[in-house]
Structure 1
Amino acid sequence: MEHAVSRLRAARLAASAKPFVARGSGGGRCARCRVVHSHCVCAWTPRVSTRAGVCLIMGDIEALKPSNTGWLVADVVRDTWAFGWARTVVDPGLLALLADPQWQPYVVFPGEFVAPERVVTGLLPVPPAPPGRKPLFVLLDGTWTEARKMFRKSPYLNHLPVLSLHPEQVASHYRLRRFSREGHFCTAEVASMCLALAQDVSAADALVAWLDVFTAHYLSAKRGLPLDRTSEAHQRLQALGGDVAVNP
């Protein structure tokens, strides 16, 4: 199933002067889940309804990386948009989304780097947002260096409240890349925290479980290890109740 990040990836590939070949792609990757065919994870993709939306502003080649977890957010959250970031050009669709009256955008970024008057730690109240507007979480998807640059050099975000998360009691489970900053979380983990704040608890849980299952498939393929489809992560994803439907 096509989604916002897969469409952005296709557009980025079409605009590239030379093909992008990710490391470890020799065995061929599934076009849908980006994992090598022998460890394809598509059958485990969760489906869940959400009230909140997610807007991903992505670094230049982020959508091309098989390890990108913004892709996983788009798998789970139906109302996900993805836009490539450039310093001098802004996608008109991004500006239209941020101005859409059905949404209340929040830029998700650490509060210590932001003027205190812009920082919020919860979704309500955020004057002058009228009642009924749905939360739209704007996530800067890239390395920490890229995210800071995007935050500083995107003046169209300057009028928006900044949601500062404080997950002191939570440890990141992300194992696909090394973090350059202590206490850092991957995009899917941040999105899950945001969904939990928005009371989209089923979606928050599904996204964490989906990240764990994707990671298991991805690393098993990368390291040439057998895949345990009865693992705790797989069982947790399959056992999610409510309106989550997993297709193993």
Structure 2
Amino acid sequence: MRPTCRRCLRPTELCACADLPVIPSRTRVVLLQHPREARLAICSAWLTRLALENCELHRGVAFEEHPAVRAAAATPGAALLFPGDGAVPAEALAGAPPPVLFAVDGTWPQAVKMIRATPTLAALPRVGIVPARPSGYGGLRREPGPEHLSTAEAVALALGALEGAPARFEPLVRAFRASVEKQLACARGERRSPRHRPGSRWAGSG
């Protein structure tokens, strides 16, 4: 068995902890992860959970009967980080961030299914982001468009805009990108394909 870091849960040679600080935020981030995402080599939702001081992660597909999720969603001003019509740009809320921000971790079909299965979540006001650069997944995953990012990148970008402090959350993005580079180097060295499967991602997945 390969030695594994007990914090980031990655093989020791791929440990991301040296690049992963603990970052405070006014907004409480609630990550909802599709169970299949937890099996992937680069689990950016878990990196996000480790990096953000005010963050929690729940796994599942339907959360309507999940007590912690329902309680968080009932917080006045809670919002959902999700692209599409009706989403308010995070920059428009600068200085007045939502007290709770939900982010769904999964492929686009998985994320849509999770939101449809949780009406309480679907009813929340939505926050959107406009990335200034493509996802840092590189060759590990194909993205359908430049607005599609990993969960770590999407959450960091959203919080940076919402709290007017993009530099504070940039270390999370750097840690994610460093983790991807290590995984790609490992894959090249072992002459095998990365464990990530290709697939359409939404702006806040994987």
Q: TM-score range by the shorter chain?
A: 0.7 to 0.9
Which blocks of at least 5 consecutive residues in structure 1 are unaligned? 1-25, 226-248
Residue 106 of structure 1 deviates from its aligned partner by 1.6
Residue 124 of structure 1 deviates from its aligned partner by 5.2
Residue 103 (structure 2) aligned to one of 117, 121, 139: 139
Residue 157 (structure 1) aligned to one of 115, 121, 124: 121
Are positions 1:205 and 2:173 aligned together?
no
Match of 2:35 in 1: 60
Residue 59 of structure 1 deviates from its aligned partner by 0.5
1:85-106 C-alpha deviation (Å, 9 max, x unpaired): 33375311111112235xx322
SS of structure 2 residue aligned to 1:138: strand
The alignment of Structure 1 onto Structure 2 pairs a total of residues equal to 188
SS of structure 2 residue aligned to 1:61: helix
SS of structure 2 residue aligned to 1:111: coil
Output the CA distance in 2 between the equivalents of 1:152 and 1:173: 28
Residue 223 of structure 1 aligns with an amino acid whose one-letter code is R
Q: Percent identity?
A: 26
Which blocks of at least 5 consecutive residues in structure 2 are unaligned? 191-206
Between structure 1 and structure 2, the one with the greater Rg is 1
Contact 2:34-2:59 within 8 A present in 1 as well: yes
Residue 112 (structure 2) aligned to one of 133, 148, 158: 148
Residue 187 of structure 1 deviates from its aligned partner by 0.7
Contact 1:38-1:221 within 8 A present in 2 as well: no
Match of 1:31 in 2: 6
How high is the TM-score relative to the length of structure 2? 0.77
Output the CA distance in 2 between the equivalents of 1:88 and 1:122: 25
SS of structure 1 residue aligned to 2:185: helix
Match of 1:196 in 2: 160
Match of 1:172 in 2: 135
Residue 15 (structure 2) aligned to one of 40, 43, 52: 40
Residue 78 of structure 2 aligns with an amino acid whose one-letter code is P
Residue 85 of structure 1 aligns with an amino acid whose one-letter code is G
Output the CA distance in 2 between the equivalents of 1:78 and 1:137: 14
Match of 1:120 in 2: 88
Residue 120 of structure 1 aligns with an amino acid whose one-letter code is V
CA RMSD of aligned residues (A): 2.8
How high is the TM-score relative to the length of structure 1? 0.65
Contact 1:41-1:214 within 8 A present in 2 as well: yes
Residue 154 of structure 1 aligns with an amino acid whose one-letter code is T
Residue 150 of structure 2 aligns with an amino acid whose one-letter code is C
